[in-house]
Structure 1
């Protein structure tokens, strides 16, 4: 500021007629002379009030951090400080307005800054030549951003830079960003340490870290924990949420890169593959910016996605470790005990929750708050129950399959199944496999099986024998939804499209926790044929791809077919269970006849259900259709009950669809 005062004194000497106006604007001449003889190193107004301000503890200089992080030269550093002055006190704006001969020009121009900071014209020209549009001060938008390829005329400091220098906290630089939060004890400490060691580097440009795992597996929380080890925060950027116009999106990306460098933040990129594929005009310059971005960068990659390489920058891949049920139980017990107490936490079947749902550490606190809201809906003082937690985790697990699959909420249980004891026993074995799979893997089977840890079931038998209903009952027993795949939307004649649809279904279903059900599976899982053309080769590739996904799927997959012989032999060898739904015998058919009628429907006294079961060799689906039609006929005649004649007429119609005759 002594240089500014010298400029003021020189102006006074050369313009004596304007001395009065100058005195009203700034210091009196005697005061200027006194200041020049004994420079205080700070503004006079600050000296007057500093004695009333308590001494601040020593802090790390943020200006020094900025110079290091952005590689500012000495002249760029001084120009940045000069641009800061009008924000500190409006009287600096008055000085610049006076020096620049305009009352409205309270922000210093680049020309004014160079005149103030350079002792002679030669040095000023040298400094000016070094300040091109690609200088860090301008290229990163630390002062007002000029047009592309131009140097700004005014040195107006960026608001975020001003906040940083004044000791503020970092905010979100764009709507498509969020701060990632670490979760205590969510991951093994040694794994987080290894993750941080691979991310934080002493090199000028740290390696890019790719973290592969499923959405909802806690990838963000893991990266946040690794960033915390290095004393940093992690900012997630959803590239799919960028503005639609590339020019607008480019400005947002530039601002985010500036903010992460400014605050020393780790940058986590999500949906990189989509940006590279759909917006190459935006992705290519973004790669160039990332190549010289010194802050740590990470990529979130789904399990089966292809890795994306960010130019020549070194890259390291980490696999997200599977969260075993035992660890999920431990986390859930800790969170529950803090909320409801240890006794109530032990009363809930946490093992069943951990087996049915992916309990992401990042959402446990919020999920338990939501469960508490459902508890209050039941009764204000009611204890937290398993049903409250099942509802919350079930809702959070739901994924949108679009037209590829239909979500069915189970409504029927084992009591509604009219099957042989042998089939029911096999269904209970399937449930036992699901419930105890994690325990078996933890005992050493994980190493023995490799990736083939999936549990798959084949239901085969005639139409109407209860295959779909059995799938619904299994899903209901597990407390999850049934995800019924619509094969008409999955199978596509164009090469590669079917695999894309299947990959999406398996990825979504894995996060959904639902039971995946392929009805009429022979249309998709048919036998592989001898390769005669490209179409045959592609069809065989689809079958091989399905085999891989079936073996690695973490939940339960049910295949249903009317004809087992149509399925490829490779499936039958690798399926965990195969259950045959036989044609019901007379005893089973009689139970079906007695169970199909609702309580409010009355049968005539002469209706002989045992005789019907013995004479009509039909399935449960046929019996359902007959009972419904007989009820409609009785309503049409305004009869007091369903009579034998109504049932005979309904049986006749149902058998005629099958090409059979009925004689009452």
Structure 2
């Protein structure tokens, strides 16, 4: 019910009226003790007992009694009626009291603390009663006077306001530090005032919606807004594969999550301050009131004192995701082990439930992103994007950690764009299926544990330069919908002992946090056959190679090694690869298909151009044919003509010269002179 029986007033309105009568009674007592005519002033602000009583008479409304004060017995009876109505009144204040599970003493204390923030007249009277018009707020001393008839003395107030109590635990009411405790200001949390007035306070952090997984067995799903397991403070390691995040989803049940990071709190998490604990406490309370599980992430680097403050402010249910559990143990966080994580399928089902971006094909793609953090995905889903918007947002995030460590390859090519032998093309498509089914085979079916393999895939592309290895890597990224990064191994190798390992760690640590394809071009420079040890330099070079092999095997994504000299790769390492794909020099038919791409552009081609003849005469790789086509186009544009057989021959001659190959008259025929001089014949 919105109003109390027999009235048109809400519970809070009636409670403030009754409080006004209580204050009139206290003003009358204070007036007697101080004597008539005394005024309390500060900077021109004056309030006498008559004015205080007149204000309270107005505030008490129809409950106003005759005389200057109502009897204590009558007041107690009115207050007991209000307490009896708390359990059933449909009033924001009463709903808050029930949600926080406050008892009658805590409810009374919270009400008298809120009154000055709800009506300025109460603040003026509090100033009068505090004998100081600058203190227009409740203090423990004033609370004792107003609540003394209910047996609330200073000792009980100490208990009610203790950190272990509900008011402080929910950060609903805390003494302001800096003054003697008995005179400390007792002010309600601003977000709590919004709730008292029936408003929905803005939440800090990121709210992650959550629906029940479609494959949850009967009895496993929690009631809406309730945790799936008994409320505790849990702690989990924030692992790159998302297990910690999936444990948080398991603990949240169907209630959802409020993710809090250091930037979400108004106080600096690296500074020890009461404001930090208060801000965190408010966020935790608001999360619980909405049925959300508060999850703290990224606070490990805070100073020990700050971590202790955060640990003390936590109340169940809550979870801490951390990289350094020992730091929280040192902060005396009493945490339970995290619940068993959901599977990736369960997590996706819950996060995508009821969203626009949900289809079997799309869910399958998300399941293959082994390093996509479920909580990051939940944040991206907050705006309910469609599949195209969400796919682009995810792709933008995936490669961000590697932007300054490797070169991103454009992945506009598809597997159908490649001109390759049928066997090579089939091997590439098989590699796509292999990596796409890693979650099923190695995780769901347990083969990763059975055979001691991680969740990554490693392939070797072998073949001469220019045969399409880089283009194939980009096409694989397109097929898997993953960004591809080319790694320059020569830039990572250092002559200083230990620096190469540090460079590799930076690369793989960034890659392990994302779902990306790593493409190691000309990898035989470091993956060559391990040499016999003749000196310390040889020993260290072998250690570098072994370390790189270990990091690649531990990497959870797809790693592609490209080698122009396959025979230089260590045989022991070859045995540890998931796939070895050969890229041979193109056949005449393949060269003809590549040359035919000239016709896809808008450049004019002369009638004398015979692309089939070029394919038969010149054994060029795909990369060399591309270079020749571009060079011929630039020559034609500079001369203001279309592409002719002469310009193509001159471009081919330049490409052969670059590679140190002979320019034979038999191959160039009538265009030989132009090819030799580089000028149009």
What TM-score does the superposition give when structure 1 sets the normalisation length? Answer: 0.72
Q: Which piece of structure 1 moves more, 496-505 or 574-583? A: 496-505
Counterpart residue number, 1:295: 316
Gaps of 5+ in 2: 1-20, 40-46, 58-63, 666-681
Say which SS state the counterpart of residue 98 (structure 1) adopts. Answer: helix
| Distance apart, 1:315 and its partner CA | 4.7
Say which SS state the counterpart of residue 269 (structure 1) adopts. Answer: strand
Counterpart residue number, 2:329: 310
Counterpart residue number, 2:454: 452
| Distance apart, 1:578 and its partner CA | 0.8
Question: Which whole-Å CA distance do the structure 1 matches of 2:535 and 2:264 have between them?
Answer: 43
Counterpart residue number, 1:181: 209
Matched, 1:256 2:279: yes
Q: Which whole-Å deviations, capped at 9, do the CAs of 1:61-106 have from their partners, x for residues lacking one? A: 83995779xxx9x8x9986665344345555434333334455543
Matched, 1:269 2:296: yes
Counterpart residue number, 1:97: 127
Gaps of 5+ in 1: 375-387
CA contact (8 A) 1:210 1:300 kept: yes
Cα separation, partners in 2 of 1:541 and 1:13, compared to 1, 3 Å: same
Question: Which whole-Å CA distance do the structure 1 matches of 2:571 and 2:505 have between them?
Answer: 24
Cα separation, partners in 2 of 1:81 and 1:14, compared to 1, 3 Å: same
CA contact (8 A) 2:176 2:185 kept: no
Q: Which whole-Å deviations, capped at 9, do the CAs of 1:235-254 have from their partners, x for residues lacking one? A: 32212556795676745531
Matched, 1:86 2:125: no
Counterpart residue number, 1:284: 305
1:8 to 3, 17, 28: 28
| Distance apart, 1:653 and its partner CA | 1.9
1:26 to 53, 63, 87: 53
Counterpart residue number, 1:155: 185
CA contact (8 A) 1:626 1:651 kept: yes
Counterpart residue number, 2:17: none
Cα separation, partners in 2 of 1:226 and 1:114, compared to 1, 3 Å: same
Cα separation, partners in 2 of 1:577 and 1:135, compared to 1, 3 Å: closer
Matched, 1:371 2:392: no
| Distance apart, 1:601 and its partner CA | 4.1
Cα separation, partners in 2 of 1:310 and 1:170, compared to 1, 3 Å: farther
CA contact (8 A) 1:208 1:297 kept: yes
1:223 to 248, 255, 263: 248
Q: Which whole-Å deviations, capped at 9, do the CAs of 1:261-320 have from their partners, x for residues lacking one? A: 6568454111134x2xxx43xx43322551574434422257xx8875432434525664
Q: Which piece of structure 1 moves more, 6-15 or 619-628? A: 6-15
Counterpart residue number, 1:658: 659
Cα separation, partners in 2 of 1:164 and 1:316, compared to 1, 3 Å: farther
Question: Which whole-Å CA distance do the structure 2 matches of 1:451 and 1:440 have between them?
Answer: 11
Q: Which whole-Å deviations, capped at 9, do the CAs of 1:196-235 have from their partners, x for residues lacking one? A: 999746xxxx4532154447x5965763552457xx7743
Say which SS state the counterpart of residue 560 (structure 1) adopts. Answer: strand
Counterpart residue number, 2:503: 498
| Distance apart, 1:458 and its partner CA | 0.5
Cα separation, partners in 2 of 1:613 and 1:431, compared to 1, 3 Å: same
CA contact (8 A) 2:211 2:353 kept: no
Cα separation, partners in 2 of 1:26 and 1:55, compared to 1, 3 Å: farther
Q: Which whole-Å deviations, capped at 9, do the CAs of 1:441-466 have from their partners, x for residues lacking one? A: 55664553343343321112221122
Question: Which whole-Å CA distance do the structure 1 matches of 2:68 and 2:662 have between them?
Answer: 122
Say which SS state the counterpart of residue 476 (structure 2) adopts. Answer: helix
Counterpart residue number, 2:177: 146
| Distance apart, 1:9 and its partner CA | 4.2
CA contact (8 A) 2:466 2:622 kept: yes
Q: Which whole-Å deviations, capped at 9, do the CAs of 1:34-79 have from their partners, x for residues lacking one? A: 72375332779x99x99x99972696883995779xxx9x8x9986
Q: Which whole-Å deviations, capped at 9, do the CAs of 1:589-612 have from their partners, x for residues lacking one? A: 344334445454455555554554
Question: Which whole-Å CA distance do the structure 2 matches of 1:134 and 1:306 have between them?
Answer: 24
Say which SS state the counterpart of residue 282 (structure 2) adopts. Answer: helix
Map residues 212-611 of structure 1 onto 2, 5 A cutoff: 212-214=238-240, 223=248, 226-228=251-253, 234-239=257-262, 250-259=273-282, 262=285, 265=288, 266-273=293-300, 275=301, 279-280=302-303, 283-291=304-312, 293-301=314-322, 309-311=328-330, 312=332, 313-317=334-338, 320-324=341-345, 335=354, 349=361, 353-354=365-366, 357=369, 363=378, 366=381, 369-371=384-386, 394=395, 399-437=400-438, 440=441, 442=444, 445-487=447-489, 490-491=492-493, 494=499, 496-510=501-515, 514-523=516-525, 525-527=527-529, 543-544=545-546, 546-548=548-550, 550-551=552-553, 553-604=555-606, 606-607=608-609, 609-611=611-613
Cα separation, partners in 2 of 1:479 and 1:368, compared to 1, 3 Å: farther
Say which SS state the counterpart of residue 427 (structure 1) adopts. Answer: helix
Counterpart residue number, 2:70: 35
Question: Which whole-Å CA distance do the structure 2 matches of 1:417 and 1:161 have between them?
Answer: 60
CA contact (8 A) 2:260 2:294 kept: yes
Map residues 65-144 of structure 1 onto 2, 5 A cutoff: 65=100, 82-87=112-117, 89-103=119-133, 105-113=135-143, 142-143=173-174
CA contact (8 A) 1:357 1:397 kept: no
Question: Which whole-Å CA distance do the structure 1 matches of 2:632 and 2:189 have between them?
Answer: 77
CA contact (8 A) 2:406 2:485 kept: yes
Counterpart residue number, 2:12: none
